[in-house]
Amino acid sequence: MKGRLPYNVGGARIDRSRVLRFTFDGKVVEAHPGDTVGSALHAAGQTTLSRSFKYHRPRGLLCCAGQCPNCLVDVDGSPGVRACTEPVREGMTVTPQNAWPSLGFDALRAVDRVGGPFTPPGFYYKMLIRPRAAWRLAEPMIRRVAGLGRLDPGATERRWRTDYRRRHCDVLVVGGGIAGLAAAVRAAELGADVVLADDGPEPGGRCLAEGDGARVAALAERASAAGVELLQGASALGFFDGLVAVWQGSVLHQVRAARTVVATGAVEQPLLFAGNDLPGVMLSGAVRRLISLYGVAPGTRAVVAGVGDPALEAAVALRAAGIHVAAVADARPSPTGEAADALRAAGVPLLEGHTVVRAAGGSRVAKVTLAAPDGTRSRLRADLLVISGGMAPATSLLAQAGTSLEHDGERGRFVPADLPPGVFAAGQVLGHDAPAAAELSGAVAGADAAHELGLGDDASRALLAEDVSALRGASPGTPSAPPPAPPKGERGRCVVCLCEDVTVKDLKTAVAEGFDDIELAKRYTTATMGPCQGRMCQRAVNAVLAEETGRAPAAVGLTTARPPWTTVPLGVLAGRPYQPAKRSALHARHREAGARIEWAGDWRRAYDYGDPDAEIAAVHDGCGVIDVSSLGKLLVRGPDAAAFLDRVYPNRMSTLAPGRIRYGVLTGEAGRIIDDGTVARLDDETFYVTTTSSGAGAIFEWLQWWQADWRLDVRITDVTQSLSAVNVAGPRARDVLAVLAPGLDCSADGFGYLDARRGAVAGVEALALRIGFVGELGYELHVASAHALTLWDALVAAGARPFGLEPQRVLRLQKGHPIIGVDTDAETTPAMAGMDFAVKLDKDEPFVGRWALERLASRECTERLVGVVIEGEHVPGDGAVVVAGDAPAGRITSARRSARLGRGIGLAWVPNGLSELGSRIEIRDGGTTFAAEVVDAAFYDPDGERLRT
Amino acid sequence: MSFVLECPHCGPREVTDFRFGGEVRPGDDGGRPDAAALTRTLYLRANVDGVQREWWQHRSGCGAWFRAERDTGTNRVLRTAAAEVAW
Amino acid sequence: MIDLGFLDPAASTPPPRSPVGDVPGAGALVDRSLVVKTELQTGPDDTAELAAAVERATGAPPRTGRAIEADGAWWCPLTPTRVLVVGDPPATPAPPVSAVTVTSGFAAFGLSGPTARAVLARVSALDLRRADTGTLLPGSVARVPAIVLCRREDELLILAGSAHAQYLWETLVDAAEPSQVTHA
| Cα separations in angstroms, B16 against A579, C139, C155, C172 | 16, 10, 26, 20
Residues A616, A635: one domain? no
pTM for this predicted structure: 0.92
**SS3 label, residue A852:** helix
What's the angle, vertex CA A191, arms to CA A185 and CA A194, rounded to 5? 55
Which residues in chain A touch residue B42, judged by CB atoms under 8 angstroms apart? Answer: 669-670, 852
Which of A686, A719, A752 is the last residue before a domain boundary? A719
Nearest residue, CB atoms, A705 vs list B4, B30, B65: B65
pLDDT interval class at A43 (50, 70, 90):
very high
> From start to end of chain B, where are the E strands?
4-7, 11-14, 19-23, 51-57, 65-71, 77-82
Q: How far is the C-alpha of A645 from the C-alpha of A726, rounded, in Å?
A: 25
Is residue A602 within 8 Å of residue A580, measured between CB atoms? yes
Residue A511 lies in a domain: yes
Provide the CATH number for the domain around residue A30: 3.10.20.440
Residues A276, A365: one domain? yes
Residues A31, A102: one domain? yes
pLDDT reading at B87 higher than 90: no
Which residues in chain C touch residue B63, judged by CB atoms under 8 angstroms apart? Answer: 78-79, 82, 145
pLDDT reading at A231 higher than 90: yes
Residues A616, A743: one domain? yes
Q: How far is the C-alpha of C92 from the C-alpha of A376, rounded, in Å?
A: 100
Contact C78 B62 (CB under 8 A): yes
* Mean pLDDT, residues A38-62 taken together: 93
pLDDT reading at C24 higher than 50: no
Mean pLDDT of chain A: 93
* Mean pLDDT, residues A364-370 taken together: 96
Which superfamily, per CATH, for C25-183? Probable tRNA modification gtpase trme; domain 1 (3.30.1360.120)
Provide the CATH number for the domain around residue A639: 3.30.70.1400
What are the extents of the domains in chain B? 1-21+48-87
Taking phi over 0 as left and psi of -120 to 50 as alpha, with beta for the rest, A563 belongs to beta
pLDDT tens column, A467-508: 999 998 876 656 888 888 888 888 889 999 999 999 999 999
* Mean pLDDT, residues B47-60 taken together: 96
Which of A335, A360, A390 is the last residue before a domain boundary? A390
pLDDT reading at C23 higher than 60: no
Contact B59 A670 (CB under 8 A): no
Which residues in chain A touch residue B30, judged by CB atoms under 8 angstroms apart? Answer: 846
pLDDT reading at C145 higher than 70: yes
Q: How far is the C-alpha of A948 from the C-alpha of A925, rounded, in Å?
A: 37
Q: How far is the C-alpha of A651 from the C-alpha of A841, rounded, in Å?
A: 8
What is residue A157's predicted lDDT score, i.e. its pLDDT?
58
Comparing CA positions, the residue from A35, A51, A25 lying closest to residue A1 is A35
What is residue C184's predicted lDDT score, i.e. its pLDDT?
43
What is residue B13's predicted lDDT score, i.e. its pLDDT?
98
Single-letter amino acid, residue A384? L
The interface predicted TM-score (ipTM) is 0.96
* Mean pLDDT, residues A185-214 taken together: 95
More confident residue, A765 or A161: A765
* Mean pLDDT, residues A569-591 taken together: 89
pLDDT tens column, A514-546: 999 999 999 999 999 998 999 999 999 999 999
Single-letter amino acid, residue A701? E
Q: Count other C-beta atoms under 10 Å from residue A661's C-beta.
A: 20
Contact C162 A760 (CB under 8 A): no
Mean pLDDT of chain C: 87
Q: What is the DSSP string of A396-422?
A: HHHHHTT--EEEETTTTEEEE-PPPTT
Is residue A341 within 8 Å of residue A470, measured between CB atoms? no
What are the extents of the domains in chain C? 25-183
pLDDT reading at A156 higher than 90: no
Among chain A, residues having any CB pair with chain B shorter than 8 Å are: 240-243, 256, 402, 420-421, 669-670, 697, 701, 704-705, 708-709, 711, 846, 851-852, 854-855
pLDDT interval class at A577 (50, 70, 90):
confident
Is residue A941 within 8 Å of residue A947, measured between CB atoms? yes
> From start to end of A486-552, where are the E strands?
495-497, 502-503
| Cα separations in angstroms, A882 against A310, A362, A862, A893, A926 | 75, 70, 15, 10, 12
Pairing relationship of beta strands A673-683 and A661-667 according to DSSP bridges: antiparallel
What is residue C19's predicted lDDT score, i.e. its pLDDT?
45
Helix (H) or strand (E) holding C161: strand C155-161
Contact A708 B63 (CB under 8 A): no
Count how many residues are written for chain A: 949
Contact C8 A584 (CB under 8 A): no
What is residue A459's predicted lDDT score, i.e. its pLDDT?
95
Share of chain A above pLDDT 90, in %: 82
pLDDT interval class at C1 (50, 70, 90):
very low
Provide the domain count of chain A: 7
- Least trusted range by pLDDT, from A375-389, A602-616, B23-37: B23-37
- For C126, the closest chain B residue by CA position comes to B13
What is residue C8's predicted lDDT score, i.e. its pLDDT?
80
Query: Which chains form contacts with chain C, at 3 or more CB pairs under 8 Å?
Result: A, B
Residue A893 lies in a domain: yes
pLDDT interval class at A576 (50, 70, 90):
confident
Nearest residue, CB atoms, B61 vs list C44, C80, C145: C145
Query: Which chains form contacts with chain A, at 3 or more CB pairs under 8 Å?
Result: B, C
Residues of the domain holding A652 = 631-719
Contact C102 A707 (CB under 8 A): no
Query: Which chains form contacts with chain B, at 3 or more CB pairs under 8 Å?
Result: A, C
- For A782, the closest chain C residue by CA position comes to C6
**What architecture is the B1-21+48-87 domain classified under in CATH?**
2-Layer Sandwich (3.30)
What is residue A158's predicted lDDT score, i.e. its pLDDT?
60
Provide the CATH number for the domain around residue A539: 1.10.10.1100
Nearest residue, CB atoms, A582 vs list C46, C102, C164: C164
Size of interface B-C (CB pairs under 8 A): 55
* Mean pLDDT, residues C46-64 taken together: 95
How many Cα neighbours within 13 Å face the side chain of A131? 1
Q: List CB contacts of A887: < 8 A, sequence separation 6 or more.
A: none
Contact B12 C64 (CB under 8 A): no
Mean pLDDT of chain B: 92
Contact C127 B10 (CB under 8 A): no
Alpha carbon of C24: minimum distance to chain B alpha carbons (Å): 31
Q: How far is the C-alpha of C12 from the C-alpha of A856, rounded, in Å?
A: 49
Single-letter amino acid, residue C10? A
pLDDT reading at A561 higher than 50: yes
Contact A164 C129 (CB under 8 A): no
What is residue C13's predicted lDDT score, i.e. its pLDDT?
59
Which residues in chain C touch residue B60, judged by CB atoms under 8 angstroms apart? Answer: 138-140, 144-146
Which residues in chain C touch residue B61, judged by CB atoms under 8 angstroms apart? Answer: 78, 138-140, 145, 147
pLDDT tens column, A374-427: 999 999 999 999 999 999 999 999 999 999 999 998 888 999 999 999 999 999
Which of A390, A423, A445 is the last residue before a domain boundary? A390
Which residues in chain A touch residue B63, judged by CB atoms under 8 angstroms apart? Answer: 701, 704
Tell me the H-state helices in C61-151.
116-123
Contact A785 C162 (CB under 8 A): yes
What is residue C20's predicted lDDT score, i.e. its pLDDT?
43
Q: How far is the C-alpha of A362 from the C-alpha of A402, rounded, in Å?
A: 46
Q: How far is the C-alpha of C7 from the C-alpha of C57, rounded, in Å?
A: 23
Cα A37 off chain centre by: 31
Q: List CB contacts of A641: < 8 A, sequence separation 6 or more.
A: A685, A686, A687, A714
Tell me the H-state helices in A604-652.
612-621, 641-648
| Cα separations in angstroms, C31 against C12, C133, C159 | 22, 20, 10
What is residue A411's predicted lDDT score, i.e. its pLDDT?
87
Q: How far is the C-alpha of A170 from the C-alpha of C183, rounded, in Å?
A: 33
Encode A404-413: b = buried (16+ Cβ within 10 Å), e = exposed.
Answer: ebebbeebbb
